[in-house]
Amino acid sequence: MKKAVSFILIFVIICGMISSATAYAIKPVTDKELQITAPSAVLMEKETGLIIYKKNADERRAPASITKIMTLLLIIEDIESGKLSLTDTVTASKRAASFGGSCVYLEEGERMSVDEMLKCIAVVSANDCAVAMAEHLCGTEQAFVERMNERARELELKDTHFTNCTGLFDDKDHYTTACDVAVMSRELISHDLIKNYSTIWMDSIRGGEFELSNTNKLVNRYDGCTGLKTGYTSTAKYCLSATAERDGMEFIAVVMGSKDSELRNSDASALLNFGFANFSLCPLRMDDPLPALPVELGKEKVLPLKYAGGEYALVPKGNTNPEYELLLPETVKAPVKEGQILGELVVKTEAAGELARIPLMAAKDVEKLGFFGIMGMLGKSLLGL
């Protein structure tokens, strides 16, 4: 059975590959051997964003606290843009302190650093801290929710809409899909800062007086787990976006609507295991630097090149020793504009054949020589200079 599944996977993936910059059209595989019990699930590879497995992945569902993936993303982005600092102090409002569910029991007027707030949201899914951060950043939770929806539109999450920043309340207008959760999870883990928090198993706040234990048990159970976020309400059931990294490759497993936490964790583990067992990343860049192209009648004699598109292709295991072929003209005529396509890199493996054709672009502008420049060049040539 396993050999048959592997053969089908390789056949589907190779047949789906498209010769373009980074387009590797892998048809998602539904593998009965995985025995995913959750009604909705997705497995995505982080680097390429390719979906390997999907089950009712575009079905709109209540997300519970995996809502906080978007909440965390906005906080992290504000930190990395300089709008917010980890050392900034956040004061809990009466409203924030009133929130129940998963929380750290903030008191009205209690002050915590952004660093501590992030820890509480990521580790124990603290609703009170999520609301406190939303109010700190935007004045009100509703204004922050507007930002969440705007960011969802930027990420082209067409089946996602938020009405709160916690996921605590089940609302018919508060929904997302397993596929959309994978996309926003991918965006969040592209910021290494989040892993300082999402990988914490146990910690404490308030000088050690209040202990924190991660709601994501895979952090302690699954080799290479890097996060990311759990969720539960009576309507959403048990949800999880689990991320794990091994040997430089990271997968995102999303399960929604599981009957209990153990099934949620076993489904996510099975998806991650499937990814690591069957796939590898193949580099779409040569080890050696790209050559420079000679320029005819240009103000500069040579032109540096740069790659377009992604850096890796997702391939079946055993296809990670690529061969590269440069297709370039001997020279290029000025003028040349930065970004102008001048050639391509063909990437192949022995088992899979051609994986991709990567466009090679001009790395800078090169202007054409004027009349006096051309005459000067001719003069130097005649003089043997």
User: What is residue 30's predicted lDDT score, i.e. its pLDDT?
Assistant: 59
pLDDT the model gives residue 381: 57
Tokens 């991918």 -> residue? 186
> 125, 185, 241, 269: which one is catalytic?
125
What pLDDT score was predicted for residue 352?
72
Give CA–CA dist 65/240, Å, rounded: 9
Q: Annotated catalytic, 102?
A: no
Give buried/exposed letters for 87-122 (b at 16+ CB in 10 A, else e): eeebebbeebbebebbbbebeeebebebbbbbbbbb
Structure tokens of 312?
């890796």
Helix then strand count (H, E) for the chain reads 11, 18
Token pair for 60: 């709109």
- Residue 317's pLDDT is 83
- Give phi and psi for 358, each to the nearest 5: -95, 120
68 is catalytic: yes
Q: Is 359 exposed, middle or buried (0-12, 13-18, 19+ CB in 10 A)?
A: middle
> E strands, 56-124, where?
89-91, 111-113
Cα(28)–Cα(9) distance, integer angstroms: 9
Which of 342, 347, 327 is closest to 287 using CA atoms? Answer: 347
pTM score of the predicted model = 0.86
- Which of these is catalytic: 68, 119, 229, 237? 68
Query: Catalytic residue among 40, 46, 65, 198, which?
Result: 65
CA distance 68 to 74: 10
Q: What is the pLDDT of residues 112-158, one digit of tens each?
A: 999 999 999 999 999 999 999 999 999 999 999 999 999 999 999 99
Map residue 55 onto helix, strand or coil. strand
State yes or no: is 381 an active-site residue.
Answer: no
Closest CA to 310 of 288, 284, 291: 284
What is the model's pLDDT at position 31? 58
Segments of the chain with pLDDT less than 50: 1-25
Cβ–Cβ contacts within 10 Å for residue 237, how many? 22
pLDDT for 21: 45
Measured CA to CA, the distance from residue 153 to residue 323 in angstroms comes to: 39
